[in-house]
Amino acid sequence: MCGIAGEYLFNNEYSDDTISLSQLEQVNLKQQVRGPDSSGVYHLGNLALLHRRLKIFDLTDRAAQPMVDHVLGLAMVFNGAIYNFLELRKELENKGYKFISDSDTEVLLKAYHAWGDNCVERLRGMFAFAIWERETGKLVLARDRMGIKPLYYANSTNGFKFASTLPALLEFEGIDKSIDKTALHYYLAFHAVPEPLTILSGVRKLPPANIMTVHANGKIEQKPYWKLEFNEGKTNNKQSEKTWLEATQAALSLATNRQLAADVPVGVLLSGGLDSSLLVALAAQKREQNLETFSIGFESVNGEQGDEFYYSDIVAKHFNTKHHQMFIPNQKLVDSLGDCIKSMSEPMISHDNIGFYLLSQEVAKHVKVVLSGQGADELFTGYHWFQNLPIEQIDAQESAKLILNLVADRSYNEYAKLVTAEYKTTNQALGFLNAMCENNSSKNIADNLQIYEAGFALANGPLPRVDNMTMAASLEARVPFLDEEVVSLATTMPLQYKLPDNGKYIVKKLARKLLPIEVVDRKKGYFPVPALKYLHGSTLELMHEVLSKQNVKERGIFDFKSIEIMFANPNTYITNLGNSQLWQIGLLEYWLKQHNL
């Protein structure tokens, strides 16, 4: 896990001193927490590649980046982990390639030389990388299938810039930092912005499962190399429940075993929920010594429990893990919010950001890599809004309307009243969902809702949250539920093995084999941070400060009268998914302030 960045100036627009070395230093420094172990710069004329390294595989300097192979004529920076790199290395050695390190980085570089763009189809892991070809002058960038690793970029007439984080990218000069009003509408509708947009007009993000080629003359080509699809009509409905159960256990066991591989200690984030508990069960089978597990809890508010220690303790005791429990009082939560928000590449509304942020600070004292349970709910219909969906076939437009009603943070009319005339746009959210459902080519609402959750919401919500918050503590997070084999299994599994038992039927079936029954049959929980859902005391005071009349008027995005109405009774304004609408607005303002925007 690392931080990457780079700048590529186009032909006839540069001299050797055009790229500012002091600016490159600031970009790299901005991503220091992503890679505190070492840093590197490769600068050749109109190209600069930057890297911050967190040492996970091959702890020697032989695996340092940027990695340059003068014989092959390639230079590369890479963020992520390739779990099948040893198998790929054997295949490459049989083709005649020689290696000087024991790293996945060198395997990736030589895999690109051997197979070109098609190398991504062989990779099992999480990645964002940039490779420069000396002979052609091409800069090739790619991102993993599910969007686990981030990649932001900015393009102009004279050059191309990229980075692992948006704040680092902004260290480059000449990027448009104005608010993108279409992205703002998406944020207020979905609390996330779909790629390629970001909240800033001049910054874009490479979509998951895409390859982008930047040519020396400034021409840019982009293509997907894989497509996520859910279509009940194409699922394998001939296999028995027993076969699906065995296949699920095999895929998750393989994924967990793969992702335990590292040359540094590995632990598990244990919330006490089904998914993280299942990872502990599978990881404990692979470990000869005590597995380290980590949990966090907060104060209860409005009668809503702020921790799940009861369940995480059961799991830790059952598997004899070396368990670490962390309790956070509300005042510490508020005191840490500024640093947490500063660690966000984009404004992220979910209350569990602060939980992951504070937990990661503690976890990093003990291990360098953790497994996390993201992805199970999205792939196996674990959320309550998957239940009681219409069973009849409906067209894409009707599907889009139903999904919008289920997941939207506010209606279009509410949005139109909230923003000022300058930032108002048409109903882009509905148009986005229409296009998404059309692209999925299924008339089953459950299929299209899975595409929304696993194809959009996951890559722009839970995954960047976990990446940003763990990386803020120089900690690598891995997500076994998003391993390629598990994703393939989930997309071919019929809904009859997902939807029953309030969702995740087959996963719960597996869990009943491996976990204490009270953990499986409990009411579904979410990472609880009630102090940010029910604003009161110090958190409400913070929102008053951030959303003061002066701040709101100066920014000019929101209508202050609408915010005043929400302040009069803040805890009645809760989104469909259980978030505070006031917190969503305040978070955006706070994020802009923290990044001096």
CA distance linking residue 462 with residue 143, whole number of Å: 17
**Domain ranges in the chain with CATH number 3.60.20.10:** 2-224
* Helices within 95-240 (DSSP H only): 104-115, 166-169, 181-190
Which amino acid appears at position 543 of this protein? M
> Kindly report the CA angle at 473 between 468 and 476, in degrees rounded to 5?
70
Please report, for residues 40, 155, 176, 182, the alpha-carbon distance to residue 201 in angstroms, rounded to integers and kept in the order given. Answer: 29, 11, 6, 9
Classify residue 95 as exposed, middle or buried by CB count within 10 Å of its CB (0-12, 13-18, 19+): exposed
Q: Are 483 and 254 in contact (CB under 8 A)?
A: yes
Q: Are 190 and 139 in contact (CB under 8 A)?
A: no
Give the residue carrying structure tokens 């491996």.
Answer: 514
Q: Are 370 and 477 in contact (CB under 8 A)?
A: yes
Which pair of tokens denotes residue 197? 């947009």
Q: Does the 232-380+463-528 domain belong in CATH 3.40.50.620?
A: yes
Within 8 A by CB and 6+ apart from 553, the residues are 560
> Kindly report the CA angle at 84 between 83 and 88, in degrees rounded to 5?
145
Q: Which pLDDT score is estimated for 326?
A: 86
Which pair of tokens denotes residue 73? 């004529």
2-224: CATH number:
3.60.20.10
Q: How far apart are the first and last CA of the chain?
A: 28
Q: Are 366 and 265 in contact (CB under 8 A)?
A: yes
Within 8 A by CB and 6+ apart from 388, the residues are none
Q: Are 564 and 544 in contact (CB under 8 A)?
A: no
Confirm whether pTM is higher than 0.85: yes
Helical pair 241-259 and 484-492, crossing angle rounded to 10 deg: 160
Give the residue carrying structure tokens 């695996």.
Answer: 63
Q: Which pLDDT score is estimated for 15?
A: 46
User: pLDDT tens, position by position, for the chain (597 residues)?
Assistant: 699 999 999 875 544 448 888 899 999 999 999 999 999 999 998 999 999 999 999 899 999 999 999 999 999 999 999 999 999 999 999 999 999 999 999 999 999 999 999 999 999 999 999 999 999 999 999 999 999 999 999 998 889 999 999 999 999 999 999 999 999 999 999 999 999 999 999 999 999 999 999 999 999 999 999 999 999 999 888 899 999 999 999 999 999 999 999 999 999 999 888 999 999 999 998 876 789 999 988 766 565 666 678 889 999 999 999 999 988 777 887 788 899 999 999 999 887 888 889 889 999 999 999 999 999 999 999 999 999 999 889 999 999 999 999 999 999 999 999 999 999 999 999 999 999 999 998 999 999 999 999 999 999 999 999 999 999 999 999 999 999 999 999 999 999 999 999 999 999 999 999 999 998 987 766 555 666 777 878 888 989 999 999 999 999 999 999 999 999 988 888 887 778 899 999 999 999 999 999
CA distance linking residue 542 with residue 535, whole number of Å: 9
Helix (H) or strand (E) holding 374: none
**Domain ranges in the chain with CATH number 3.40.50.620:** 232-380+463-528
**Listed residue (48, 81, 53) closest to 65, CA to CA:** 53
